[in-house]
Amino acid sequence: MIDIGEILRRELGSERVLLRGDDRLEPYGRDESPLPQVFPPDCAALCDDAEQVATVLRLCAEHRVPVTPRGAGSGMCGGALPVRGGVVLSTEKMQRILEVDADDMVAVVEPGVVTGNLAEAASAAGLFYPPDPASLEYCSIGGNAATNAGGPRAFKYGVTREYILGLEVALMGGERLRCGRRTAKGVTGYDLVAGFVGTEGTFGVITELVVKLLPKPQGAATALAVFADVAGAGACISALLRSGLRPSVLELADRASIDHVRHKSRYRFPASAGAVVLIEIDGDPEDLQTQIERIGMACDEQGAVDVLVASDAAERRGLWEARRLISPCLKEAHTIKVNEDVCVPRGRIVEMLRRVDRISADTGIDVAVFGHAGDGNLHVNLLSNDDPGDPAVRAHVMAAAHRLFVETIELRGTLSGEHGIGTSKRDFLPMEQSEALLEWQRKWKRMWDPLELLNPGKVIPDGVSRCSE
Ligand SMILES: Cc1cc2nc3c(=O)[nH]c(=O)nc-3n(C[C@H](O)[C@H](O)[C@H](O)COP(=O)(O)OP(=O)(O)OC[C@H]3O[C@@H](n4cnc5c(N)ncnc54)[C@H](O)[C@@H]3O)c2cc1C
């Protein structure tokens, strides 16, 4: 039997390869997904550069060892988990920002760069990197590209895909490939960048990214509209979508979400708050006041109990801090927190919220809903304080998740708006996609990775593993 850890140590140096028995290996068997199991890898290779990434992929192909790419491990659907063992290939040490070019309006970065650091570097150059997953203080840009991450600002600015102009990837077998461009436009050849973005590390390992930057908005204003219930908040979001106003952010939080952050948040939510809508606009400071007033009036017309407009940067930060605390606070308070991120067409948001209420009532599972409601993307958190190790408890929660997916598809929605499929939603994918479509995706995957060694067991169900061939 081959010892891939020792083989990698010989090539990369022992300090870059963590072996079984080393406590530092333990985190590489987990991510932020609610899966009860831990999947310990045989070893983790902490690569410093693209050459080392290619070496790992060459040796794993040669020795038929599965390899799982990993950024910061903040993924919520088990994409970075080595479910078939083998090697975890971590890009966490590849943190160099190689260029921020204000004239070309691009940044060139390594995949392990923390998203918030990229945003700060862009800002220091007077530019703007819009995608802002709530995990931006620790997730990596490589992981964001691999999952096509979204975030609150996706409402106005779109998701990660729209900001990745070019990529360098290392393929299974060790070949390195550059695709895409540095220009604002370009239609030469097939769009392989779009092919790699969002494929959750199943086609290749991203080793460098050319990222599009925008001019920095000159100002921003933030408001919080408070509603008696989630139905009122949902109706207000629908009205704002039709109003012609153009917020950069339109986020929802229901009563359960609010109640969980009250004790930690600097912002004091009114006791009557049954749901809130966080609204932000950005642009020319001269227009901001008029615009935010119009938004406030629209919320009043929709029955808002209160509309608070942040008067300074500290108040804005307080509101955002409260928003970002929701997920961690829900996690802290429950033994089981399954965060589904279904997305429905914008016209069905109110109906979806109604159905989520019904699912909770019918199944007895507590639910907290928050998220990017302006995009129809709702983080529906299924919560329990029962024993997570009890299969009956998990089956009960997963039955509620199944029902959520059924309702989502019925409303012509999609199972994941931004977190991806990974391993935790893989078995549900046939609810949304035809067998023919799944089969074409399997063929596509095999073109890049014929032995199915790269991130096996992810995204597309029933792919036959060929690791032992
Ligand atoms: C509190 C919290 C809030 C979150 N909020 C959001 C949000 O608002 N929007 C959102 O979209 N997501 C959100 N997420 C989910 C998560 O942060 C994103 O999916 C993020 O893009 C994952 O990045 P990562 O570096 O942690 O990747 P990982 O978790 O390490 O990996 C995720 C996937 O990407 C692959 N991958 C990682 N790096 C590479 C690479 N270099 N090449 C090829 N494949 C690679 C992995 O194999 C895996 O399939 C949140 C998570 C948490 C915990």
What CATH number does residue 75 fall under? 3.30.43.10
Report residue 101: phi and psi, to 5°. Answer: -105, 105
How many angstroms is it from 7 CA to the middle of ligand 1? Answer: 29
Q: Considering the domain boundaries, does residue 119 fall inside one?
A: yes
How many angstroms is it from 411 CA to the middle of ligand 1? Answer: 27
What CATH number does residue 339 fall under? 3.30.70.2740
Number of compact structural domains in the chain:
4
Residue finishing a domain among 327, 356, 376: 327
- Which residue range forms the structural domain that includes residue 296? 217-327
Tokens 């942040």 -> residue: 310
How many angstroms is it from 251 CA to the middle of ligand 1? Answer: 20
| Contact (CB, 8 A) for 196 and 455 | no
Q: Does residue 247 line the site of ligand 1, with CB under 6 A?
A: no
> What is the spatial distance between Cα 135 and Cα 71, in angstroms, rounded to a whole number?
13
Q: Does residue 419 line the site of ligand 1, with CB under 6 A?
A: yes
User: What per-residue string of b and e applies to 334-370 under the rule 16 or more CB within 10 Å gives b?
Assistant: bebbbbbbbbbeeebbbebbebbbebbeebebbbbbb
Atom 52, ligand 1: residue with shortest CA distance = 135
Statement to judge: residues 101 and 203 lie in one domain: yes
Which of 39, 68, 147 for mutating ligand 1's site (highest number of atoms within 8 Å of CB)?
147
Which of 49, 76, 89 for mutating ligand 1's site (highest number of atoms within 8 Å of CB)?
76
Atom 53, ligand 1: residue with shortest CA distance = 74
How many angstroms is it from 288 CA to the middle of ligand 1? Answer: 33
Statement to judge: residues 222 and 320 lie in one domain: yes
Which of 33, 39, 88, 135 for mutating ligand 1's site (highest number of atoms within 8 Å of CB)?
135
Residue finishing a domain among 186, 215, 244: 215
Q: What is the DSSP letter of 469?
A: -
Q: Would you call 1 exposed, middle or buried from its count of C-beta atoms within 10 A (0-12, 13-18, 19+)? A: exposed
> What is the spatial distance between Cα 453 and Cα 314, in angstroms, rounded to a whole number?
49
Atom 7, ligand 1: residue with shortest CA distance = 133
Q: Considering the domain boundaries, does residue 307 fall inside one?
A: yes
Q: Give the CA radius of gyration of the chain.
A: 22
Q: Does residue 82 line the site of ligand 1, with CB under 6 A?
A: no
Q: Which two tokens stand for residue 41?
A: 């890898």
Q: At what angle do helices 285-301 and 230-242 cross, to 10 degrees?
A: 130
> What is the spatial distance between Cα 383 and Cα 333, in angstroms, rounded to a whole number?
9
Q: Does residue 135 line the site of ligand 1, with CB under 6 A?
A: yes
How many angstroms is it from 273 CA to the middle of ligand 1? Answer: 32
79 CA closest ligand 1 atom index: 49
Tokens 């979806």 -> residue: 352
Statement to judge: residues 101 and 204 lie in one domain: yes
- Please tell me the predicted confidence (pLDDT) of residue 334: 96
How many angstroms is it from 142 CA to the middle of ligand 1? Answer: 8
Amino acid 18 reads L
Statement to judge: residues 46 and 144 lie in one domain: no
Q: Does residue 72 line the site of ligand 1, with CB under 6 A?
A: yes
Statement to judge: residues 128 and 210 lie in one domain: yes
Q: Considering the domain boundaries, does residue 237 fall inside one?
A: yes
Q: Does residue 132 line the site of ligand 1, with CB under 6 A?
A: no
What CATH number does residue 266 fall under? 3.30.70.2190
In 3D space, the residue among 252, 216, 448 whose CA is nearest the CA of residue 349 turns out to be 252
Q: Considering the domain boundaries, does residue 384 fall inside one?
A: yes
pLDDT digits (tens, 9 = 90+) for 280-326: 999 999 899 899 999 999 999 999 999 999 988 899 999 999 998 99
Statement to judge: residues 307 and 353 lie in one domain: no
Statement to judge: residues 26 and 111 lie in one domain: no
Statement to judge: residues 125 and 172 lie in one domain: yes
Q: Considering the domain boundaries, does residue 321 fall inside one?
A: yes
Q: Could you report how far apart the first and last alpha carbons of the chain are, in Å?
A: 15
Ordered alpha helix ranges (H), 27-113: 50-62
Q: Which two tokens stand for residue 17?
A: 């390869």
Query: What's this model's pTM, rounded to 2 decimal places?
Result: 0.95
> What is the spatial distance between Cα 411 and Cα 146, in angstroms, rounded to a whole number?
27
> What is the spatial distance between Cα 366 and Cα 109, in angstroms, rounded to a whole number?
41
Q: Considering the domain boundaries, does residue 51 fall inside one?
A: yes
- Please tell me the predicted confidence (pLDDT) of residue 463: 53
Statement to judge: residues 268 and 208 lie in one domain: no
Q: Does residue 339 line the site of ligand 1, with CB under 6 A?
A: no
Q: Which two tokens stand for residue 138?
A: 């620790």
> What is the spatial distance between Cα 225 and Cα 202, in angstroms, rounded to a whole number?
41
Q: Does residue 323 line the site of ligand 1, with CB under 6 A?
A: no
| Contact (CB, 8 A) for 345 and 413 | yes
- DSSP letters, 250-273, are EEEEEHHHHHHHTTT-SS---TT-
With H, G, I as helix, E, B as strand and everything else as coil, classify residue 119.
helix
How many angstroms is it from 92 CA to the middle of ligand 1? Answer: 12
Q: Does residue 304 line the site of ligand 1, with CB under 6 A?
A: no
Tokens 């090697």 -> residue: 87
Tokens 């907290």 -> residue: 368
> What is the spatial distance between Cα 400 and Cα 337, in angstroms, rounded to a whole number?
12
Tokens 């028995």 -> residue: 21
Statement to judge: residues 50 and 105 lie in one domain: no
How many angstroms is it from 469 CA to the middle of ligand 1? Answer: 31
| Contact (CB, 8 A) for 55 and 97 | no
Amino acid 140 reads S
In 3D space, the residue among 190, 194, 207 whose CA is nearest the CA of residue 162 turns out to be 194
Q: Considering the domain boundaries, does residue 118 fall inside one?
A: yes
Q: Does residue 338 line the site of ligand 1, with CB under 6 A?
A: no
151 CA closest ligand 1 atom index: 8
| Contact (CB, 8 A) for 240 and 285 | no
> Which residue ranges in the chain fall short of pLDDT 50?
464-469
141 CA closest ligand 1 atom index: 25
Atom 2, ligand 1: residue with shortest CA distance = 135
Residue finishing a domain among 90, 121, 147: 90
> What is the spatial distance between Cα 37 and Cα 389, in angstroms, rounded to a whole number?
9
> What is the spatial distance between Cα 355 and Cα 28, in angstroms, rounded to a whole number?
37
Q: Does residue 417 line the site of ligand 1, with CB under 6 A?
A: no
With H, G, I as helix, E, B as strand and everything else as coil, classify residue 331.
helix
Cα–Cα distance list, 359 to 220, 368, 395, 451 (Å)? 37, 12, 15, 41
Report residue 456: phi and psi, to 5°. Answer: -70, 155
Q: Does residue 149 line the site of ligand 1, with CB under 6 A?
A: yes
What CATH number does residue 181 fall under? 3.30.465.10
Statement to judge: residues 367 and 398 lie in one domain: yes
Q: Considering the domain boundaries, does residue 430 fall inside one?
A: no
Statement to judge: residues 284 and 338 lie in one domain: no
Q: Does residue 457 line the site of ligand 1, with CB under 6 A?
A: no
